[in-house]
Amino acid sequence: MTQLLPHLLLHSELGTSSSAMVLRSAGYVVTKVIDTDSALRIAQSAHVDGVIVELPVFRALSFIRQIRGSAHSDVALLAISRVPETIQRLIDVPVLDAGAVEDDLISTVDILLATRERCGSAYQNSRDALPA
């Protein structure tokens, strides 16, 4: 099957995620995973264009470090946090304030993925899947 829409992995806690709803309503394919081991495995899949981390600070930092230490470390990453300054101070990753999800999530993800595409990494598998 040809992948025409960006596929995002959302690693968050149990429960309803407004981020997942916003992304899906914008047309993104979103896989929400609460288990860290499963999220790490899925994040390394070639069909995943980006990973969004919506976890408490220390769990988010640990997960992001594990992703960056993996073989598929070029995947686009975005953290969503109620305390974005803390995450930004401790690790170099784009962070969106949890209070800005409704207004800024789609444009932030669009820019993040477009930047990865321009650099030639995040959408390579999607482009390769398109028919000539």
| pLDDT higher than threshold 80 for residue 9 | yes
Q: In this model, does residue 128 exceed pLDDT 50? A: no
SS3 content of the chain, % helix, strand, coil (to 5): 50, 20, 35
pLDDT for position 127: 39
Q: Are 6 and 126 in contact (CB under 8 A)?
A: yes
* Separation of alpha carbons 85 and 92, rounded Å: 11
Q: Among 10, 102, 18, 107, which Cα is nearest to 60's?
A: 10
**pLDDT of the residue at 46:** 86
Domain assignments of the chain as residue spans, ordered by start:
7-129
**Residue 96 to residues 1, 38, 39, 104, Cα–Cα distance (Å):** 32, 24, 20, 8
Whole-model pTM: value is: 0.83
Q: What percent of the chain has pLDDT over 70?
A: 85
CATH architecture of 7-129: 3-Layer(aba) Sandwich (3.40)
Tens digits of residue pLDDT in 67-105: 998 866 678 999 999 999 999 999 999 999 999 999 999
3-class SS of residue 57? helix
Q: Tell me which of 25-29, 69-73, 75-79, 118-122 is least confident.
A: 118-122
pLDDT-based confidence at residue 65 (cuts at 50, 70, 90): very high
Mean predicted lDDT score pLDDT of the chain: 86
Lowest mean pLDDT among 37-51, 53-67, 105-119: 105-119
Q: Give how far the C-alpha of residue 12 lies from the chain's centroid of Cα atoms, to the nearest Å.
A: 11
CA-CA distance, 127 to 38, in Å (whole number)?
26
